[in-house]
């Protein structure tokens, strides 16, 4: 990795980019993953590359709903694993819930690569966080078995894990595709999406949308969970409009 | 290439994406090129994936300034070649000016790949457009020689062609980096940039910024040139603000 000076104002964004390039070389990502990452970069740039107040409220709401869930699950794809795999493991450890690797362009090679990535991260994190070691070691990484189905979808995208997404009542899912988000909510599941595009179908279909960069959002969710927040009557459209307003205020940055 | 139905509302965007994926497989693009493309997709999405009135005015202004120039040049990188190489050749044929392949991460392999791409496009276009054949065949593709320098820059990015960018008074440059755009304007050259991000340093440093997708912008420029428009006192900041305002009106799309 090239060194990026600490003083660089966009250091976090550049580190994420390097992680993506490296993961792509290692075959962990679909061919269009880098394009999706770039789209996210643009929206994040307009957000000011920070967690907005509105997004912070969404993260708190997500924490409350995940804590209240009977069977929460964290669904992770290639990009979210590369960018925020560690944070996902910490959340799963706190909630005692599984992580399901679930990717849009499913290949055996990428599935086993990403599951291996999580197992390696678990081992490293268990050693780093002594007091959470037993909880981290117990986090199940699902996805390989593909013994469940998401009704309403066809083809490989309908595949999921019976012990994961299929039985879940609350699904935390960074960077989801719109069709799947819609199918999951049609099944009566709560979907907590993390998506930097407030106009995407996922953002509009989800129960709670966190308009934030995935590693910032999941990092903050880790600390919110310990606050044990209560849930509210969540007006998702209102929060999406707030995100768009913030993006449009970026225009003030031009003199 | 997978078939995309004509009815798909985002067909043009999806075709561009496929072109990028294929060019990447063929080694024509830098590793971060797909990320840059994704950023562009996001801004274009906010623009409504169309040439705005404000961008159309910028394209007309660009046409006027290119026609008036003594030594215009079109500087093309990997992404712009893949997305709008044909349109660049047509513009160069009309203006009787060279195209210079000039890339940020310069490698011999990519330089010769992109120059070869242009030579192949020239041959195909010359056969397709019978009446423009002599003009198209005469378009020089510069870049390999690297016998010029851009003062104010260091390292490989300072390299250019003596007969291209170095001697040019007006540089048409899609998808430029900010430092180079600044260096070119400091040398007294007019820079006509095509950039979907109205907040980028390139957008703010350029003489005329066309906030539009590169193939739409260059396609429209081809027809504008035949109108022989006159130049104006161009207020670039005003047009950048207009682009941002249009992007922020996207918020109305949320109900």
Write out chain B residues lying below 8 Å of A21, CB-based: 31-32, 35
Output the pLDDT for position B251. Answer: 47
Note whether B201 and B181 are within 8 A (CB). Answer: yes
Picking from A42, A237, A245, the nearest residue to B39 by CB comes out as: A42
Give the model confidence (pLDDT) of B230-252 as tens digits.
999 999 999 999 998 888 765 44
Give the model confidence (pLDDT) of B95-145 as tens digits.
999 999 999 888 999 999 999 999 999 999 999 988 899 999 999 999 999
Picking from B199, B248, B254, the nearest residue to A254 by CB comes out as: B199
Cβ of B42 within 8 Å of Cβ of A237? The answer is no
Residue with the larger pLDDT of the pair B95 and A34: B95
pTM for the predicted model, two decimal places: 0.85
DSSP states along A103-144: -SS--HHHHHHHHHHHHHHHHHHHHH-GGGHHHHHH--EE-S
Q: Is the pLDDT of residue A50 over 60?
A: yes
Note whether A200 and A69 are within 8 A (CB). Answer: no
Output the pLDDT for position A133. Answer: 93
Confidence grade of residue A255 (pLDDT, cut at 50, 70, 90):
very low
Q: Give the chain A residue nearest B249 (alpha carbons).
A: A248
Q: Give the chain A residue nearest B241 (alpha carbons).
A: A251
Using alpha carbons, select from B142, B165, B136 the residue that is nearest to residue B152: B165
Complex ipTM: 0.78
Confidence grade of residue A12 (pLDDT, cut at 50, 70, 90):
confident
Q: How far is CA B40 from the centre of its chain?
A: 13
């Amino acid at each position: 990795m090239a060194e990026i000076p600490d003083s660089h104002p966009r250091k976090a964004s550049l580190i994420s980019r390097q992680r993506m390039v490296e993961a792509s070389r290692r075959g962990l990502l679909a061919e269009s993953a880098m394009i999706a990452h770039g789209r996210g970069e643009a929206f994040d740039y307009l957000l000011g590359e920070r967690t907005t107040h509105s997004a912070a409220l969404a993260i708190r709401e997500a924490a409350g709903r995940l804590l209240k869930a009977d069977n929460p699950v964290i669904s992770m794809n290639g990009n979210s694993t590369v960018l925020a795999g560690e944070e996902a493991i910490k959340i799963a450890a706190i909630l005692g819930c599984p992580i399901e690797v679930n990717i849009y362009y499913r290949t055996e090679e990428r599935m086993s690569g990403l599951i291996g990535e999580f197992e390696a991260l678990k081992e490293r994190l268990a050693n780093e966080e002594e007091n959470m070691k037993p909880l981290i070691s117990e986090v199940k990484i699902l996805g390989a078995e593909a013994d469940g189905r998401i009704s309403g979808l066809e083809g490989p995208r309908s595949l999921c894990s019976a012990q994961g997404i299929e039985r879940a009542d609350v699904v935390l899912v960074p960077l989801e595709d719109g069709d799947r988000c819609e199918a999951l909510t049609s099944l009566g599941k709560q979907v907590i999406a993390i998506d930097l595009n407030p106009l995407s179908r996922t953002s509009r279909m989800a129960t709670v949308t966190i308009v934030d960069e995935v590693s910032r959002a999941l990092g903050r969710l880790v600390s919110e969970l310990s606050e044990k927040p209560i849930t509210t009557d969540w007006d998702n459209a209102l929060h999406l409009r707030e995100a768009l307003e913030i993006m449009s205020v970026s225009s003030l940055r031009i003199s």
